[in-house]
Amino acid sequence: MFLHVVGHNQRFRVVHMTFRRSIETISRYFREVLYAVGELRNEMILPPSTATPTKIRDSHRWYPYFKDCIGAIDGTHVLARVPRNQRAAFLGRKHTTTQNILAAVDFDLRFTYVLAGWEGSAHDALILADALEREDGLKVPQGKFYLVDAGYAVRPGFLPPYRATRYHLSEYGGRNPQNPKELFNLRHSSLRVTIERAFGALKNIFKILYNKPFHPYKTQVKLVLACCILHNWILRHGNDEHVPLEDTWAANQLHEGAPLDLVMDNAAWSATRDNWAQQMWQNRG
């Protein structure tokens, strides 16, 4: 019954007709299963390995430049149902009420960190700052980093692409990169697309994340985490047809939002990015 609700976003009254159980029974077991799945968080959502990912190690496009990359971080919005007096705070970029979810994934599409519950109007950089400040929050091992989009600042542990520069392959119109920044962005995008594929798979499997759920907001937040846990469980025990293949995935448009003033670009890390871009350009072929 629980999987029926999260997989199809069906109301308890519809599940009642399917399973011939009272709505009270369905509601009670739904809460119990939601709690039980949530208790698997520390077992199913694990920090990424600090070893160089096989995907990077085996490709001259990314190795050695991204050898210390342990995954990708991004935010995604899911529709939310909130009281009318809170609606303004939850209005996202598409003018619908959403919760903004920050997540990190490894290159096997598994979620390694999830922070749900922020209002749809919150800036991604602000949510990342909150994740880093929490006692049980996001940890970046020394010398390692995550790929992020252009809405984040360049800082140790987080590597965005160059702003105001072509990024996705579709933006090149069939021509090759013309300078080091374009080449860096193209290789960055082909690696960071991992997190977009993970979000795509998550929402394809759990339709409750594509629609406004029929649950209190606190439950909606718990449901996001539960869906991420189940996503990891599915990948641990085999491939899933809902996971899009990399060569068929159409990436989202690059988010060019400027970083917040409190998180400005780090000069030393920016210089490292410039150095990698120059090396890529010199070694292209």
Digitized pLDDT (tens) for each residue of the chain, 285 residues in all: 888 888 877 777 777 677 777 878 888 888 999 999 999 999 999 999 999 999 999 999 999 999 999 999 999 999 998 988 888 888 877 788 999 999 999 999 999 999 999 999 998 889 999 999 999 899 999 999 999 999 898 999 999 999 888 876 666 656 788 899 999 999 999 999 999 999 999 998 898 888 877 889 999 999 999 999 999 999 988 665 556 555 555 555 555 555 554 457 899 999 999 999 999 999 986
Residues near 48 by beta carbon (within 8 Å), at least 6 away in sequence: 70, 71, 104, 106, 112
Instruction: Spell out the domain ranges in the chain.
Output: 1-39, 48-282
Residue-level pLDDT at 13: 72
Contact of 249 with 200, CB cutoff 8 Å:
yes
Helix (H, G, I), strand (E, B) or coil at 203: helix
Residue-level pLDDT at 246: 58
Closest to 253 (Cα-Cα) out of 131, 151, 155? 151
Residue-level pLDDT at 261: 46
Residue-level pLDDT at 21: 76
Closest to 97 (Cα-Cα) out of 74, 78, 117? 78
- Counting Cα atoms < 13 Å in the Cβ hemisphere of 106 gives 21
Residues near 45 by beta carbon (within 8 Å), at least 6 away in sequence: 111, 112, 113, 114, 228, 229, 232
**Omega of the bond leading into 64 within 30 degrees of 0 (cis):** yes
User: Element (H or E) spanning 42, and its range?
Assistant: helix 41-44
Residue-level pLDDT at 25: 83
β 98-105/69-79 pair status: antiparallel
Residue-level pLDDT at 38: 94
Helix (H, G, I), strand (E, B) or coil at 26: helix
Contact of 23 with 16, CB cutoff 8 Å:
yes
Residue-level pLDDT at 16: 67
Residue-level pLDDT at 262: 44
